[in-house]
Homo-oligomer: A and B are copies of this chain.
Amino acid sequence: MLVNTGDDFEHLGLHISPDLDTVMYTLAGIANPATGWGVVGETWNFMDQIDRLGGPTWFRLGDRDLATHAVRTERLKRGETLSAVTADLCRALGIRATVLPMTDDRLRTIVHSEEKRLAFQDYFVRMKCAVPVTKLSFDGEASARYNPALDQLNVKEPLAIIICPSNPYLSIDPILALPGLRDWIARSGAVVIAVSPIIGGAAVRGPAAKIMRELGLEPSAAAVGLHYGSLIDGFVVDDIDAAGTTEIAASGRPVLSTQTLMRDASDRIKLASDCLAFVQDLLRQRS
């Protein structure tokens, strides 16, 4: 699993990797389902004391969650890679999937709002996405290398790449911005599919639809499919968007419509199975 680190940042002396954390906590079964971030059953005594000391409280750090940041920060300071730290955190949390930061280098998503350049967390958390996005860019994109583990994958079966229904602009594009990453995908010969995060014109969670409107795009599954363009071999949309994506299917990229809204574990398993079956279909069509 290749995870965006474009929204990593330093805060209160800690290196925080919000997307890696959410993926790890989710896979470990300790994610907080109410918030979509952080650890379930969290306590907030650190934050209360930060408030008392006059420190910044706009980014909420729970007492348990802090342990992840502290371990990561210390080990990065010692010169270890984010990949190595992540692998050990996953092991400690009993996660069997391979979680790879997209890069061990620094690539930071910058949100442009008219003339303002905002660090990602300033936009996303501090300002609660309340300013219009006019452009996105990625600091460090010229020099960041994609995770070298990608070149060491020892895959015997044809590779399938599933672009999850994350925010295409904030969470997927930083990964695709890494030099050579698109070439790696092409070289890999993988079947690439994407799942639309837009269902019936709205994002299930987060500002994807708002950002699309601000960028002059209609917030629709079809627009997401067009955004990924020739990168993908197939596209997965919700049943209610099937009619709106005939154009994509007509352009030679098959569209699977199914239930993409995941409310519980069984929905998640069902969608994953549908995606894998879709990949098998696409592979059969290739040969």
Chain A residues at the B interface, C-beta cutoff of 8 Å? 10-15, 39, 42-43, 45-50, 52-55, 62-74, 76-77, 88-89, 92-93
Interface pair A45/B64, CB less than 8 Å apart: yes
Residue of A14, A47, A64, A92 with most partner-chain B CB within 10 A: A64
Residue of A11, A62, A63, A76 with most partner-chain B CB within 10 A: A63
Closest partner residue, chain B, to A11 (CB atom) = B74
Tell me, in angstroms, the Cα distance from A72 to B50 when the chains sit together.
11
Specify which chain B residues have a CB less than 8 angstroms from the CB of A47 in the assembled complex. 67
Closest partner residue, chain B, to A50 (CB atom) = B67
Partner of A70, one of B55, B68, B92: B55
This chain's copy number in the assembly:
2
The 5 closest A-B pairs by CB, nearest first: A13-B73, A49-B67, A45-B63, A13-B74, A12-B70
Interface pair A66/B64, CB less than 8 Å apart: no
Specify which chain B residues have a CB less than 8 angstroms from the CB of A45 in the assembled complex. 42-43, 45, 62-64
Specify which chain B residues have a CB less than 8 angstroms from the CB of A11 in the assembled complex. 74
Interface pair A43/B63, CB less than 8 Å apart: yes
Specify which chain B residues have a CB less than 8 angstroms from the CB of A70 in the assembled complex. 12-14, 46, 50, 55
Given A13-B77, A55-B71, A77-B13, verify A64-B48 contact (CB < 8 Å): yes
Given A13-B13, A43-B43, A92-B54, verify A49-B74 contact (CB < 8 Å): no
Tell me, in angstroms, the Cα distance from A43 to B42 when the chains sit together.
12
Specify which chain B residues have a CB less than 8 angstroms from the CB of A46 in the assembled complex. 46, 63-64, 66-67, 70
Given A66-B46, A73-B13, verify A88-B52 contact (CB < 8 Å): no
**From residue A63, how far is it (CB to closest CB) to chain B in Å?**
4
